[in-house]
Amino acid sequence: MTQVLLKTTFGDVTITLNDEKAPKTVENFLKYVEDEYFNGLIFHRVIDGFMVQGGGMEEDMSERTSKHAAIENEADNGLSNKTGTIAMARTMDPHSASSQFFFNVKDNNFLDHTSKNSEGWGYCVFGEVTEGMDVVNRIKAVKTGITRGHQDVPVEPVKIESAVVVK
């Protein structure tokens, strides 16, 4: 399984990707890693007791343009939104995920796939934190506020310095 090292201003997080159960999602995520797309972006939505989201916003809360098309939702892969997993963020359209992702900081089973309709598609888990969950837990605890109309934004930016494949 492929591992990605996410270097953040709070420390390093190693993510082990599950290319067996979420092949299209992992391939998509790795394209963004290889493009150095995540470098310099922030974790723009942090909700303690829920999740930490990043992968799309600049420090000024402007959205970085996605380089690749949205992908097919693979949330029906049997993986669950458990504490320490990484999943794709999306809009109400179940097949709209592109670059944004989130770390589950608690068991969020209500985000799991239940059926192939608008209410049941869920959010695709495609890996898990294998080192650095302490870093994710530090991020989830930051003070947040409203910035440019967005809620739950860290008051002090938490940046992704780089994302690289390590094996």
Tokens representing 119 are 């209410």
Q: Average pLDDT of the chain?
A: 97
Domains detected in the chain? 3-157 (2.40.100.10)
Q: What is the DSSP letter of 61?
A: S
- pLDDT tens digits, 112-130: 999 999 889 999 999 999 9
Q: Over 90: is that where the pLDDT of 44 sits?
A: yes
Distance separating alpha carbons of residues 30 and 17, to the nearest angstrom: 9
Q: Residue 125: beta bridge partners?
A: 87
Instruction: Tell me the one-letter amino acid at 46.
Output: V
76 confidence band (pLDDT: 50, 70, 90): very high
Q: Over 90: is that where the pLDDT of 164 sits?
A: yes
pLDDT given for residue 167 in this prediction: 81
pLDDT given for residue 119 in this prediction: 86
- pLDDT tens digits, 46-72: 999 999 999 999 999 999 998 899 999
- pLDDT tens digits, 78-91: 999 999 999 999 99
Specify the pairing of strand 101-104 against strand 144-147.
unpaired
Distance separating alpha carbons of residues 107 and 28, to the nearest angstrom: 24
Q: What is the DSSP letter of 140?
A: H
pLDDT given for residue 27 in this prediction: 98
Instruction: Tell me the one-letter amino acid at 19.
Output: D
Cβ atoms 144, 152 nearer than 8 A: yes
